[in-house]
Structure formats: structure tokens, C-alpha cells
Amino acid sequence: MARDERATLLEVHQALPEEQFQSLKFLLEGRVPAGLLLPASRPELCRILLQRFPGNSLRVTAGILRQLGRLDLIQRFQLPLEEQIPEETPWEPNRDTPKVRGDPTSGCRPGGIPAPPVNPRRLTEKDLMQVAQRLGKEWQEVGILHLGLERSRLEQIQEENPGNPVLWNFEMLREWRRREQHQATVSQLRSCLEPARLDPGILDFLQSLQGD
């Protein structure tokens, strides 16, 4: 294994704050068993990636950094990107829950009220992470009242990601996206979150995505 790759990989991981390092490990679960990722330190994670992706560990890491919005690190370390991986659905396990056709309660509106017309732009992992980083402590209230998720599922998310509120928010949004499937668009999420008491920056961010 080239020393340059090993050294660069470690420098990249050391440049991440702890919260984003944990997010990086979480997003790697589609490619690396969680049992290896959860206890791994930064050097240990580098060793895992070098062993599992010989010659491609920097590309794999760059793909995760792109999801986290850390394009600055990709440019700083001149990391190669995995262009063959679609950005909309990177490495996501096929765990979609089948939805009954014609279900009037789909989306986020209670009582069978149809959701408004949606922008066709679907939400990417990067979009969800950026929203997750802006959500506050009332994430369970948002999930239950505005996204229509079950409390038991939210508690499970919290147990699976102890001590990491950003990952709670992120996994909650992913759960909503899995349920909504092709209707998980930017405008659909914005219409769900508009009635919630959230940081106005979240709605502004989603509004900016609608203009993309």
C-alpha cells in the first residue's frame, strides 16, 4: 500500500471534527460492517478502509465527504471522486417499505389531506445531512407530528446511535425518505416542516434547493 495514500487518509480523518467523524462512520455502514465501524478510532478506520478498498480508500472517503458537504477537504487533499456512484442514492441498503397505492395519508399531511404539488428534485444524502445539522432538540416532535413517523422507530434510532443528535436527525429523515420513496422531494419535505417550530434557516435552505 502506498505510503502517500495511508498518510493522506489519516490526515483527512484527523481534519474532521468528532461529530462529522462519527457521521462518516455511519455513512460507511452500507459498505463496511457496523461492528467494525462503531468502535474504530481514526487510525483504526484508516486501516479498515485500506484493507477493504486497496487503492480506492481515498475515493471511498471522498464520496462520504461529498455527502457531508466537506468539499473543502476534497479540494484541500485533492481527493479523487467516485463518479460512478449516483449522488442521489449512494450506498443505501434496499430497505424501502412498500407503500399501498392510492393511500390518501401518504406524505406528511394528517387526516388524508393531499400534499401540495412537489418539486421533482429528490433529496440526496448530502441534503438530508445538512438539514439534520440544523434541526434542534425537538427532533422527536418533528418526526411524530410533522413527518408521521412512529415513536418506537425514533427511539430505536436513538438507541442505535447513542450520544449523536445529528445522526438521530439524519436517520429520522432517511426513514421518512425511505417511506416516501419517489415522493421524497425537496418541496415535499419543506411542506412537512413548514408548520413546525424550527430554525428558519432550515426552510431557507430547502427553498434554495428548490431553485437548483
DSSP string covering 52-100, please?
A: HSTTTHHHHHHHHHHHTT-HHHHHHTT----TTS-SSSTT--S-PPP--
Q: Tell me, what CATH number does 31's domain have?
A: 1.10.533
Domain boundary among 59, 77, 95: 77
Q: How far is CA 12 from the centre of its chain?
A: 20
Where residue 159 sits, what CATH number does that domain have? 1.10.533.10
84 CB-near residues (< 8 Å, 6+ apart): none
Residue 141 sits in the same domain as residue 200: yes
User: Residue 207 carries which side chain, given as an amino acid letter?
Assistant: Q
User: Is residue 84 one of the residues assigned to a domain?
Assistant: no
Enter the DSSP assignment of 149.
-
Provide the pLDDT for residue 4.
Answer: 83
For residue 60, tell me if it sits in a domain.
yes
Average pLDDT for 13-19: 92
Q: Show Cβ contacts of residue 40 under 8 Å, excluding neighbours closer than 6 positions.
A: 25, 48
Same domain? For 141 and 197 the reply is yes
Closest CA to 147 of 103, 92, 198, 189: 189
Q: How far is it, in rounded angstroms, from Cα 176 to Cα 189?
A: 9
pTM here is: 0.47
Segments forming the whole domain that contains residue 150: 125-210
Residue 120 resides in a domain:
no
CA 12/CA 15 separation, integer angstroms: 5
Number of domains the chain is built from: 2
Question: Does some domain include residue 96?
Answer: no
Listed residues 60, 77, 94: the one ending a domain: 77
- Asked if residue 19 is part of any domain, the answer here is yes
Tell me the mean pLDDT in the region 139-143: 88
Q: What is the mean pLDDT of the chain?
A: 79
Q: Are residues 137 and 205 in the same domain?
A: yes
Which one of 53, 77, 101 terminates a domain?
77
Query: Is the residue at 117 inside a domain?
Result: no
Q: Looking at the structure, do residues 70 and 136 belong to the same domain, yes or no?
A: no
165 Cβ contact list (under 8 Å, min separation 6): 137, 139
Is 132 in the same domain as 204?
yes
Q: Is residue 35 part of a domain?
A: yes
Q: What is the pLDDT of residues 67-113, one digit of tens each?
A: 888 888 988 898 987 553 333 333 344 444 334 333 434 455 444 34
In this prediction, residue 168 carries a pLDDT of: 92
Tens digit of each residue's pLDDT (9 = 90 or more) over 31-72: 888 888 888 999 999 999 999 888 889 999 998 888 888 888
Q: Does 148 fall in a domain? A: yes
* 168, 137 Cβ separation under 8 angstroms: no
